[in-house]
Structure formats: structure tokens, C-alpha cells
Chains A and B, each alone.
Chain A
Amino acid sequence: MRRGVAGFTPVLLALTMGLAFVKVGTVIPNPDLPGLDGSEHALVDRQRLTVFLFFDPAQPRCLEVMREMGGLQGSFPKEKVRWVGIVSDRFDPAKAVTAAREAGLGLELLTDRGDQLYGALEVRLYPTVGIVDTKGVLRAYLPYHKVNFTGALDAEIRHALGEIDDAALERALHPQAADIGTKQAEAGRYLRFAEMLWKMGKRDKAIAKAREAAGIAPGSAAAHALLGSYLAGAGDCEKARPELEKALQLDPDNEQARKAMEACPKQGP
């Protein structure tokens, strides 16, 4: 995913990318390579996306990545994605077959005689994964990642297939943990608590909890709507109206606030 790193400047990125590989977005060479049965196969598939892996069957990181790819492979139909393993003729092909089988990764194994393709693409690293579309354009290049390799590869394939947009790809390449410590979330808990108390008939406590929620998240239409509707339900329209008006100001489509307001119509001048 040497396409961009959030937080680094574009100048740095430009220098970082493409130094050890052909550039993403360019048409790559498409040689015929011999398969294990000796028959020749083109690298680029004109009907399907091709995911290719340069690997050394004895290298631990290659095996680690192959296991991760094996876990991902079943998510993509064979009609859409072709998986190719490219192995130098310096390596024992039997070991390449065993490595792929043990990783649970179904690969069409092709031999790179004299590392010609490796050299032409300036690969330099094992493992290296490339994604090339039906027009022969390199869509992504991923060397080894200890963290987030599967997430990045999954997203790159889906992006190349048109299943996700640029924003979704960016989120996958720069993922984050779920943020559950927000004021909004805390207010949400208080609202659920208030609802349960209301159902149990403990109206005063329910109103108090809803008020706490509105205090924690003053920008929450849901909090003001619940507080206002409970106040209205308790017959205190004078205190309910400002809360309901605030809820409708924050969210003019808030159904709960609108209904509660009907029970507390504005009095005449």
C-alpha cells in the first residue's frame, strides 16, 4: 500500500513510493511464464483481477503472509480474482507447492526464470504482493506488513474491483480502534437507563437521568427529546417545551420531540 501515508507530506510520499517497484497506476510488463506443468501463462488475466505474490518458500514472513492471504481468498469469487504465486527458478518448486498448500492458499504457481520479472518490476523484497487489473495496470503494491496486512490487501482488492470507494480504502489503510469514550456514547447509556426507569414506572428517576444525559451531550437532539417527552408525560409542559424546542432545533425531523410537542402546545400570548 505504498500509495500514501497520512501525516507525511506529499513530497515525502513521492520519494517514498515507487523507488523499489514499478509505480502504481502504470502498465506493467506482461510476460508469459511457465507453470509447473510447463505450459506458458500470461501474468495479466484479461477477464479477472490478478493478485500476484512474489515469494521465497523458505522465508517465514512469506509463509505468514501466505497464511493471511489464505484466510482472505475465500471472500472473493474465482470468477473475479485470480491468485498467482511467482517463484524464482532458484527455489525448489516442490517447496513452493507445499508452502502454498500448508498456508491454505490456492495459487496458480508460475516460474520466474532467472528472476527476469523480479528484475523488470524491481521487486527487491519477499514477500511482495501486486494487484493488476485486466488492462495490465498495477493497482496496488504491498510488501510485508506485520500489522494490517490482511485489512490492507482486502481493501485494495475490493477497491480494484470497484466494491469500495476511495474513502473506504483510506479508512482500511489507516484504520483505528473504535472510539467508545465519547460524550455522545455516555449520554446514550444514560438515555437507555432513563428509558428502563420510565418503563419501571420510576418517572422522577427517569427524568433525572435524561436530564443528566442532556447535560453531558447538550448537542444531542435525542437527549433533549427524551427529557422533554418525559416531562410532558409527567404533565410538566412548562419545563418540557424548552427541551422539545431545543431537540427540534437540533433535529427538525425528530419524531419523538414533535409528538411530545403536540401534547404540550404553546399557550396563547
Chain B
Amino acid sequence: MARIIVLETRSSAIHGRSRKGVATMESGARLVGVVMIMLGVMMWGGPLVAGAGVAPLPKGATIVWSHAPYGMGECGICHVRDDPADPGPITTQNVTELCFGCHEELQDAMAKSRYSHAAVEDSCTNCHNPHNSAYKKLLIAEPPSLCAQCHQDIWDEATKAPVQHRAVRDGKSCLNCHSPHASNVDSLLLDLPYNLCVTCHGKDGVKDEQGKTLTNIAALLASNPVIHGPVADKDCSACHTPHGGKYFRLLTTEYPATFYSPFDPKSYALCFTCHNSEIVAVERTTTLTGFRDGNRNLHYVHVNKKERGRTCRACHEVHAAPQPHLIRNGVPYGKSGWILKINYTPLPNGGRCEKTCHGAFTYDRTKGTASGGSS
């Protein structure tokens, strides 16, 4: 199937992303992609120049991995002459084509996957030494330093951001979450974000960089029937930036950490990246929200205050909750951690909260109530 190289700025100027079945591959675009890769290599001084990383390691070097044909002295498998002293050039014009002669599974994966790594499309020797290596899998360097040679911006984000993510540094580093070759998931992810995230965040006792214990998200979801849309869609990256960021809990943008906050749309930037900000901007509506008494917008009533406006977290959970609309059972109030019960009851045309921040109030979307859902 035809393919296109998408050169985008999401991760770096040379982050190529192939999407198959979307549009016809423009030979010009491919050429530009290859040129961009080479330019990137020159700019960062990486070893991705053809030939630079393909020679066998010098005598005396530590060799961790050896390619089977080279180790067996079978030069003729890849070269025109079966003579270790003078093997001559390789038997194909394109080194990747030569590799695919044996590594059929990779060729198959590249062909069948929606996305493939531009570095592989260009040449396997961008990342692998075909003879031997000081690193596993014949890599010319280990991740993350190998990946950072092209994806320097991501590495900077991971190592210099105020809030960092250990998953980028620990274990297999970049390969904890990304396939270096091909995937059917965006950004060459090994799986949808949630499935990757819960490999760590689905355990008890995981701590953040400051030592604070993090929620076991898998357990939270298992015990709460109502799940936030992005979580249900396994799209944690809708709200969290996986490499590093400037907001707490690796959130992609601002979200108030407190119960009360003077109303300012900027403070709710994260929620308003998807939720319509008008729900807290207009006093009267019959269309923008179901949390209204007649046409009196109760989101506006609760949130839009110069002082002591309730933040989203005052009433809503962010991942999963026991009640509809992600409404919490109770909210932590004050420094002592006292839990203030919300006692929310859904009704056919509205709902009721009682014995909480206020006395019992009922709201009715269709006809309104005498109390008017006051807070």
C-alpha cells in the first residue's frame, strides 16, 4: 500500500512518521525526508552517516554482540566476495534490502504496520552495526543516547523539565514504550498509552520523584464504575505528557491543585482543552450543560466566583468515580484531610446534593426548582 512520510514538529524537525493507506507516497517527500535525516545527522554530529558505523569494531574493542554471518566469517552472505581480507561492496545497492533478505519479519512488520520509523526506512545501519557491537542487538549506541541523536528535543524535555518521568530513564528507556521499527500505534508506541502506563501505574507503592505514593490506577478503575472518557479510550496522553513537563503530575497544562480558586479560565486550561469553557462562562443556558436548574447554569454558580470559586476537583474525580458525571463521594477539605460528603443523588431530570457544603438542594433541568439549586 502507498505510504507517506510525515515530517512533523511534534517531537523534532526530523521525526519522520509513515502512515500507510492515507495518501500516496510522494517521491519528493521521501527525498526530503532522507535529506532532512542527513541534515539532522550533520547538525547533531551523530554517527548516522552511511559507512561511519558499519565497519567492524577495531581489535581490542569490547564486543558484546556479533552478527552471525560476520562471526562465522561468512562474508559472502552480504558481500560480493567471500574473502575476509577483501570482501568488496555489499551485494545490493540498498543496505536495508540486504538486511531484509534474512530479517523478513522486519520487512513484514514494516509493510503491515501503519507507522514505521523513518530511520529504518532510510537504512538499518542508522542504528545497527552489521558486523559487531559493544551493545546488544548490534546497536551503535544504547538508548537513550542513540535515540537522542535525532530526538534531542525529547531528551531535553525528559532531562531538563521541572517534572520528570522515570519511565524515560529507567529500564529500557525509550524502548519501554516505543518500538524502534514499526507499530500500528501513533508515535511508534508498543501499545495504547493506558496499557503502557499501567505496567507501572497499575501497581501499589509506586512513588513519584519526591517519594509520594502514586495511585494504583488499575485498582482505582476496577473499583469505580464511571471512567473519564480519555481513560476509557486508553489515552492517558490526552492529559499527561509522558516525557516530562512543567506542570504537576506531568499534566499537559494548568489545572488547579486547590479546592477553591478565583475563577480564571487559564486555571482550568487542561479541562477546557476538551470541555467547553462556556459551561462556566454563561449564567443561563438550556444547551451547554445538564447541571442546571431550569436555565440557571449551576456550573457557573459554583465555579465562576472572584473568590472561593470551586475548582473542577471540588466535585469531580479525574480518572474514575463511583457516580455518574465522575462525581465524587466526598471531597478532601482543609489541611486535616477531612472528607466532606457530597451525597449526590441523580434524579430523572436533574439531581440532589445534601448535607454537604450546603443544605439539601435539588435541581431540575425541565422546570427548575424553588431553591434554584443555589450553592
- Tell me the A residues contacting B by CB distance below 8 Å: 1-2, 5, 7-8, 11-13, 15-16, 19-20, 56, 59-61, 71-72, 74-75, 90, 114-116, 118-120, 122, 124-126, 143-151, 154, 171-172, 174-180, 182, 184-185, 188-189, 192-193, 196-197, 200, 202, 205
A-B contacts besides A5-B227, A126-B276, A147-B189, 20 pairs, CB < 8 Å: A2-B229, A15-B225, A15-B226, A74-B22, A126-B275, A144-B273, A145-B235, A146-B186, A147-B187, A147-B235, A154-B21, A174-B234, A177-B113, A177-B185, A177-B190, A178-B183, A178-B184, A180-B105, A188-B104, A196-B101
Interface string of B1-24 (1 = CB under 8 A from A): 000001000000000000101110
Partner of A147, one of B101, B186, B229: B186
Q: In whole angstroms, what is the CA distance A236 to B143 when docked?
A: 47
Closest 8 CB pairs of A and B: A119-B287, A178-B109, A175-B184, A185-B105, A177-B183, A177-B179, A192-B102, A115-B287
Residues of A within 8 A of B181 (CB): 178, 180
Q: Shortest distance in angstroms between B195's beta carbon and chain A's nearest beta carbon?
A: 7
Question: Are B324 and A143 in contact, with the CB atoms below 8 A?
Answer: no
Report A22 CB to chain B, min CB distance, Å: 13
B82 on the interface (CB 8 Å rule)?
yes
Residues of B with C-beta under 8 A to A192: 101-102, 104
Q: Quick check: B72 and A5 within 8 Å, CB to CB?
A: no
| Highest count of chain A CB atoms <10 Å: which of B227, B235, B287 | B287
Q: With an 8 A cutoff between CB atoms, is B238 at the interface?
A: yes
Q: Which residues of A contact B23 (CB under 8 A)?
A: 71, 74-75
Partner of A59, one of B76, B225, B273, B285: B273
Bound Cα distance from A212 to B184, whole angstroms: 31
Residue of A nearest to B287 (CB): A119
A176 touches B184 (CB 8 A): yes
CB proximity of A8 to chain B, nearest CB, Å: 7
- A116–chain B nearest beta-carbon distance, Å: 6
> Hey, what's the 0/1 contact readout for B104-120 against A, CB within 8 Å counting as 1?
11101110111000000
Interface contact tally, CB-CB below 8 A: 176
Least Cβ–Cβ distance between A26 and chain B, in angstroms: 18
The answer to whether B103 has its CB under 8 Å from any CB of chain A is: yes
Chain B residue nearest to A1 (CB atoms) is B233
Residue numbers in A under 8 Å from B226 (CB-CB): 15-16, 19
A114 touches B233 (CB 8 A): no
B227: chain A residues within 8 A (beta carbon): 5, 8, 12, 15-16
A134–B177 CA distance with the chains assembled, in angstroms: 41
Residue in B189, B226, B273, B290 with the greatest tally of chain A CB atoms within 10 Å: B273
- Measured as residues with beta carbon below 8 angstroms from the partner, the interface class of chain B is 35 or more
Q: Is B301's CB within 8 Å of the partner chain A?
A: no
Instruction: Give B residues with C-beta under 8 Å from A.
Output: 6, 19, 21-23, 68-69, 72, 74, 76-77, 82, 101-106, 108-110, 112-114, 179, 181-193, 195, 221, 225-227, 229-230, 232-235, 237-238, 273-276, 278-279, 285-290, 324-325
User: Within 8 Å CB of B186, what residues of A?
Assistant: 146-151
Check A118–B288 contact: CB distance below 8 A: yes
B289 neighbours in A (Cβ, 8 Å): 124
**B259 nearest CB across to chain A (Å):** 23
For the complex formed, measure the closest distance between the CB of B180 and the CB atoms of chain A, giving whole angstroms. Answer: 10
Pick from B77, B108, B235: contact of A193, CB under 8 Å: B77
Flag if A178 contacts B182 (CB, 8 Å): yes
Residues on the B chain within 8 Å of A125, using CB: 229, 274-276
> Complex: how many Å from CA A172 to CA B192?
11
Query: A85 vs B21: C-alpha distance in the bound complex, in angstroms?
Result: 24
- Once the chains bind, are B232 and A2 in contact (CB under 8 Å)? yes
State A56–B272 Cα separation when bound (angstroms).
11
- Determine the chain A residues whose CB is within 8 A of the CB of B74 once the complex forms: 197, 200, 202, 205
For B24, give the chain A residue with the smallest CB separation. A74
How many angstroms from the CA of A124 to the CA of B221 in the assembled complex? 23
Q: Is the CB of B238 within 8 A of A118?
A: no
Interchain CB contact under 8 A, A178 and B290: no
Beyond A8-B232, A19-B325, A189-B105, whether A178 also contacts B112 by CB under 8 A is yes
Cβ contact within 8 Å between B225 and A150 = no
With contacts A146-B235, A148-B185, A177-B191 taken as known, whether A75 is within 8 angstroms of B19 at the C-beta atoms is: no
State which of A5, A116, A120 has its C-beta within 8 Å of the C-beta of B232: A5
* Residues in chain A near residue B273, CB distance under 8 A: 59-61, 144
Contact (Cβ within 8 A) A124 B287: no
Q: Do B22 and A75 touch (CB < 8 A)?
A: yes
Known A12-B227, A144-B238; contact A180-B106, beta-carbon cutoff 8 A: yes
- A74, A115, A147, A150: the one contacting B192 at CB < 8 Å is A147
Q: With a CB–CB cut-off of 8 A, which chain B residues contact A120?
A: 287
Task: Tell me which of A11, A72, A185 contacts B225 (CB under 8 A).
Answer: A11
Bound-complex Cα distance A197 to B73 (A) = 12
The residue among B6, B106, B227 with the most chain A CB atoms within 10 A of its own CB is B227
**The residue from A124, A145, A171, A179 contacting B233, defined by CB atoms under 8 A apart:** A145
Complex formed: what's the CA distance from A211 to B183 in Å? 31
Contact between chains at A75 and B21 (CB < 8 Å): yes
A175 to B112 CA separation, bound complex (whole angstroms): 12
CA distance A230 to B288 in the complex (A): 74
Residue of B69, B102, B285 ringed by the most chain A CB atoms within 10 A: B102
C-alpha spacing A11/B222, complex, angstroms? 11
Are B104 and A19 interface neighbours, CB within 8 A? no
A-B pairs with beta carbons under 8 Å apart, 6 shown:
A2-B229, A2-B232, A5-B227, A56-B276, A124-B275, A144-B238
